[in-house]
Structure 1
Amino acid sequence: MKKTYLFTPGPTQIPPEVVLAEASPMIHHRTSEFSDIFANVSENLKYVFQTKDGEVFTFASSGTGGMEACVANTLSRGDKAIVVSGGKFGERWAQICGTYGVNTVKIEVENGKAVDPAVVNDTIEKEQDAKVVFTTLSETSTGVIHNIEAIAKVVKGRNLLLAVDGISGIGVQPFKMDDWGIDIAVTGSQKGFMLPPGLAFVCVAQSAWDSIEKSDLPKYYWNLKKMRKALSSKTTAYTPAISLIMAAGKSIEIIRSEGIEKVWARHAKLAHATREGIKALGLELFANDAAGNVLTSVKIPKGVNFDAGIKKLRDETGVTIAGGQDELKGKIFRVGHMGYVNEFDIVLAISAVEKILHEGGYKVELGKGVSRVQEILVG
C-alpha cells in the first residue's frame, strides 16, 4: 500500500481541513456570500505578508502569473529594471522583463550563493535610471535565501521600487512587507499556504501606486488597477477560483492560529534538523550558509544515480523528494520542509534519503541520519 508524502519544493502537503473547505458546495462569485468570504481572505492575507497599509490581490494563476503582473504594472515602455539572477526563478524575472521589452540589467549570482547587498547597491549607483529592482526571497531551484531586509535598505530612499518573488518563501521564511519597506511582492498558493496550485497573491504597498498609475505596458487580465477597483467592492475583476479561495480562508486561519512568528520558528527548526540529518550521512549541503527554512539542497555523491532513486521511491512508496533543475539536474537533490510539515515528517524524509542512498550503492549507515534528526528535535 502506498501513502503519499510530498517533500518537494511545491506543491506541498495539504491539511485535511483545507481539503474539506475546497470540497464545499460551489457558490456563485457575484453574491454577497462570496464577497464576504473573499473580503475576509483578502484582509487576512495582509497578516501573512505582514502589512497593514498594503492591498493584496488574488489572481487565478500560478505564481509566475503574479510575477508577470508585477512587471506589467510597475514599468513603462523604455524603462530599465535591475534583476537579481541567481537561479531558475531569479532568471524568470529577467525573462518576463524581456518579454515586455524592458531594458534589463542582470546581477548574476553563482548558484548556491546569496546576492551581496553591496553589489545591489553598486549596480543601482551605476544604473541610476533604473525603475525597479526585482529579486527573490527564496530561490526554489537552489534553496538559497536572499537577504531581502538588507536589499530593501539599499533600495530605500531612492527613486525606484523593490519587487520580491516570495512564492516559496512567504509564510515560511521571515518576511515583513511594511517594516522592510517592500513595494510589491508575490507569492503562490502551493507552498507555505498549504493549498493546491492555482492562486497567486500580489501585495502592493501604497508606494507602488504612482508607478502603477503611469505604467503603459500592455495588460488585460493582469491589470492591478482593475483588480483594485473590484477589491473595493469585495470581489474580483474576472471569474475567481472560488473553491481555492474558500480553501485559502481555512489555510490562513490555521496560520493565524499558530501565529506567523511561530510558523517561521517551526520551519527554522525543521530545516535545521533536516540539514543535520543530511550531514550525519556524510553528504554535502549545496546552499549551506545561504540556506533558509524552505528547503534543503544537497550535492549528489559521485556514483549514485539519485534521480533514478527518486523515481523508484515515488513509484514504490509514494514518498516524493525533488531533483535538481536545468544545469543542476543530476547534481543536487532537494528536500522541501514547508507548509503542513511536522517533526515526524522530517524523520520520514531523512529515512527516504537513506533508502535511496542505500539502494543506489552508497555506503551509508542506515538510521544514522534519522538518529541525528531525533537528537535535534527532541533536544
Structure 2
Amino acid sequence: MYKIMTAGPTQVRENVRMARSLETTNPDVDTEFCEFYKETCDLLRDLVHSSGTAYILGGEGILALEAACASLTEPKDRVLVIDNGIFGKGFADFVKIYGGQPVLFSSDYHRPVNIDELKSFLEKDNDFKYATVVHCDTPSGVINDISRICPLLDEYGILSVVDSVAGMFGEYVNVDESCIDILCGGSQKVLSAPPGLAMVWVSQKAEKAMEERHVPIASFYANILTFKTYYQDKWFPYTMPASDINGFRAAIDNITAEPDIVQRHAGIAAATREAVTKAGLELYLDYGFSNTVTVIRVPDGLTDVQILSLMKNKYNVMISGSFDILAGKVLRIGHMGENANVRDMEMTLDAMDKSLTELGVTLKCSMKEAFSEFIRCR
C-alpha cells in the first residue's frame, strides 16, 4: 500500500472511514438527517468566521467553483478573473459557460498577486459584477492574500468568489473580516475526507445578487439558491450522500478538536522548504509559499515520471506531478491535513533522497535529516 502524500486527495483518518460505514438512512425524508446536515453546516460556518450561510454540496470540490459562477453570472456580465496560476485562470472557463465576459488580471505565476498592482488596475477599470481569486493555487503552491484582496474588491462594490479548496484549515481564513462573498472548499484536502463533497459559504450580499438576477440561473445542480429553504422545508433539492456527510462530519470534528492546526501546517511547510533548498533543489516559487503544498522543480536531466515512479514503486510513497503549463516541470508534496505530520514527511523525503540519488542527482545533504533537524530546533 502506498503512502499518499499527494497535493490532494489526502490520507483519511480511521474515524472518518468508520463514520462513512455507519448504517445509513433516507436523507430525503429523515428529519433527523436534516438537523444533522444543518448542524454540520453551522460548524463549518463558525470554523471560518462567517456570518453568512454554509452549504455542503454533493460533488467534488470543483462543483463549488462552478456553482458560484453559475449562481452569480448573467449573460454579458463582466467578471474579473485574478490569474496568477492555473486554477486562477481556469475560472474564466466557468464564466464563459454561463455567458459572462471574463477579464483577466494576469501576473507572474512564480509569486502571489501584487496588491498595489491590482489596486492600480481597479482604479482604471472596476466595472465588474464579481471577481474570482484562488487562495492556494495548488499546481504551483502559491498563496494569495485574500485578507487584502477581497476587502480591496469590496471597496469598489465587486463581489468576491474565493477558491480555498487547498487553503482553508491549513491557512487562516476569516470570511467576515476579509469581506469574502462566496468561499469555496472541498472535502479531500486539509479536511482529509474522501473526495466527493464541496462546500460553499455565501454572504447576504451574494445571496441578494443571486435573487435579484434578471435571467434565471442556467443550472439546477449548480444553483446555490436551490438550497436556500432546505431547512424550513425539510427537503433537499436532490438526495444527499448521507454516508459521505457522516464521514465529513467526523473530519470536521477532528479539525475542531485541533485549535493549532494552522500552526502545525506552517511548521511542517517551513521544514520541508528548508530541507529541499538545503539539499540543493530548487523551489518553483520565488516567494508566497503555501502551508499545504511544496512545489519543486524537476532536476535537469530527469523527468517527473522517473522520480514519481521510483518513489512509488520502490519506496511506496506517492507524490504528485503537475499539469497544464507545469506538466513535467515540477514535483508536488502535499503536506496538508492528515499528511502534515513529521513521520510521514520524513518517510517522503527519505524516499525522495534515495530516488534522486539512484537517478544520479548529487544532493548537498539528506532532505530527511535536514527536515528532522529543523523540526527539532523549532
TM bucket by the smaller chain? Answer: over 0.9
The answer to whether the aligner puts 1:206 opposite 2:204 as a matched pair is yes
Moved more, 289-298 or 350-359: 350-359
The equivalent residue for 1:319 is 317
The equivalent residue for 2:80 is 82
Contact 1:194 1:251 in 2 (8 A): yes
Alpha-carbon distance in 1 for matches of 2:169, 2:325: 28
Shift of 1:233: 4.5
Task: Pick closer, same or farther for the CA change 1:233–1:251 going to 2, 3 Å.
Answer: farther
The equivalent residue for 1:61 is 59
Partner SS, residue 297 of structure 1: strand
The answer to whether the aligner puts 1:45 opposite 2:27 as a matched pair is no
Alpha-carbon distance in 2 for matches of 1:47, 1:359: 48
Contact 1:304 1:362 in 2 (8 A): no
Task: Pick closer, same or farther for the CA change 1:234–1:245 going to 2, 3 Å.
Answer: farther
The equivalent residue for 1:347 is 346
1:196 to 184, 194, 197: 194
The equivalent residue for 1:9 is 7
Contact 1:37 1:246 in 2 (8 A): no
The equivalent residue for 2:253 is 253
Shift of 1:157: 2.7
Alpha-carbon distance in 2 for matches of 1:333, 1:310: 8
Shift of 1:32: 2.4
The equivalent residue for 2:363 is 364
Alpha-carbon distance in 1 for matches of 2:114, 2:128: 19
The equivalent residue for 1:151 is 149
Alpha-carbon distance in 1 for matches of 2:132, 2:55: 19
Partner SS, residue 62 of structure 1: coil
The equivalent residue for 1:291 is 289
CA RMSD of aligned residues (A): 1.5
Partner SS, residue 81 of structure 1: strand
Alpha-carbon distance in 2 for matches of 1:190, 1:235: 26
Contact 1:273 1:346 in 2 (8 A): no
Shift of 1:142: 0.3
2:304 to 294, 303, 306: 306
Shift of 1:122: 2.6
Shift of 1:324: 2.3
Contact 2:79 2:129 in 1 (8 A): yes
Moved more, 178-187 or 283-292: 283-292
Alpha-carbon distance in 1 for matches of 2:66, 2:118: 22
2:89 to 78, 84, 91: 91
The answer to whether the aligner puts 1:36 opposite 2:25 as a matched pair is no
TM-score (norm 2): 0.95
Note the 1:176-191 alignment, pairs <5 A: 176-191=174-189
The equivalent residue for 1:225 is 225
Contact 2:73 2:95 in 1 (8 A): no
Aligned-partner residue type, residue 245 of structure 2? I
Contact 2:74 2:99 in 1 (8 A): no
Alpha-carbon distance in 2 for matches of 1:8, 1:197: 13
Task: Pick closer, same or farther for the CA change 1:96–1:183 going to 2, 3 Å.
Answer: same
Shift of 1:47: 2.6
Contact 1:5 1:319 in 2 (8 A): yes
Alpha-carbon distance in 1 for matches of 2:187, 2:235: 19
Shift of 1:89: 0.8
- What does the per-residue CA deviation read over 1:186-220, in whole Å, with 9 as the maximum and x for residues that have no partner? 00000011111100001001121221112324121
Alpha-carbon distance in 2 for matches of 1:79, 1:136: 20
The answer to whether the aligner puts 1:338 opposite 2:336 as a matched pair is yes
The answer to whether the aligner puts 1:172 opposite 2:170 as a matched pair is yes
Contact 1:37 1:249 in 2 (8 A): no
Contact 1:80 1:102 in 2 (8 A): yes
Contact 1:59 1:200 in 2 (8 A): yes
Partner SS, residue 24 of structure 2: coil
Which ranges in structure 1 are unaligned for 5 or more consecutive residues? none
Shift of 1:348: 1.2
Task: Pick closer, same or farther for the CA change 1:26–1:305 going to 2, 3 Å.
Answer: same
Alpha-carbon distance in 1 for matches of 2:235, 2:362: 57
> How many positions carry a matched residue from both structures?
373
Contact 1:38 1:235 in 2 (8 A): no
Alpha-carbon distance in 2 for matches of 1:212, 1:124: 24
- What does the per-residue CA deviation read over 1:69-111, in whole Å, with 9 as the maximum and x for residues that have no partner? 1011122222100001122211221111111121110011222
Alpha-carbon distance in 2 for matches of 1:123, 1:69: 27
Which ranges in structure 2 are unaligned for 5 or more consecutive residues? none
Among the aligned pairs, what percent are the same residue? 28
Contact 2:138 2:166 in 1 (8 A): yes
TM-score (norm 1): 0.94
Aligned-partner residue type, residue 351 of structure 2? A
The answer to whether the aligner puts 1:23 opposite 2:5 as a matched pair is no
Partner SS, residue 84 of structure 1: strand
Aligned-partner residue type, residue 349 of structure 2? I
Shift of 1:273: 0.8
Alpha-carbon distance in 2 for matches of 1:157, 1:110: 24
